[in-house]
Amino acid sequence: MKTTYIDFADLGDYEDFYTQLKEKVKLPAHFGDNLDALSDVISGELEMPLHLEFVNMSVDQLEIFEDLLTTLEDAEDQVEDFTFTYFLEQFEDNDEEEIEE
């Protein structure tokens, strides 16, 4: 299965998402930058199997891109051989200090 990674570290809005998606997935020329068009191409025009993996999402982006996640969850239920996952960015706290008694 082909996995396509979308890195959300530098994404601020849907325009940024569609720009990165177009760089990584061969979309038809008539693709419109909206969720209905995305659902349509997943359900009939993209080569399957396909796995989209969103990495480095922030908690704020979960809210910003909530409709995108819902659209992809629906597509995952309806389209054979299409899956997606998302992962939140990880922060390491290097400032932890041990408390000595």
Assess if residue 93 is contained within a domain. Answer: no
| 15 contacts 33 by C-beta, under 8 angstroms | yes
Assess if residue 78 is contained within a domain. Answer: yes
Q: Going by C-beta distance under 8 Å and a sequence separation of 6 or more, which residues neighbour residue 55?
A: 5, 6, 7, 8, 9, 86, 87
Assess if residue 96 is contained within a domain. Answer: no
**Domains contained in the chain, number:** 1
pLDDT tens, 61-77?
999 999 999 999 999 99
Q: Containing domain of residue 50, as a range?
A: 2-88
What Å distances lie between residue 71 and 27, 36, 82, 101, CA to CA? 17, 8, 12, 53
Could you tell me the two tokens for 78?
Answer: 């309806």
Residue 90 confidence (pLDDT) above 90 = no
CATH code for position 20? 3.30.370.10
pLDDT tens, 25-61?
999 999 999 999 999 999 999 999 999 999 999 999 9
Assess if residue 99 is contained within a domain. Answer: no
Q: Which of 30, 28, 27, 23 is nearest to 5 (CA)?
A: 23
Assess if residue 73 is contained within a domain. Answer: yes
Assess if residue 25 is contained within a domain. Answer: yes
Assess if residue 56 is contained within a domain. Answer: yes
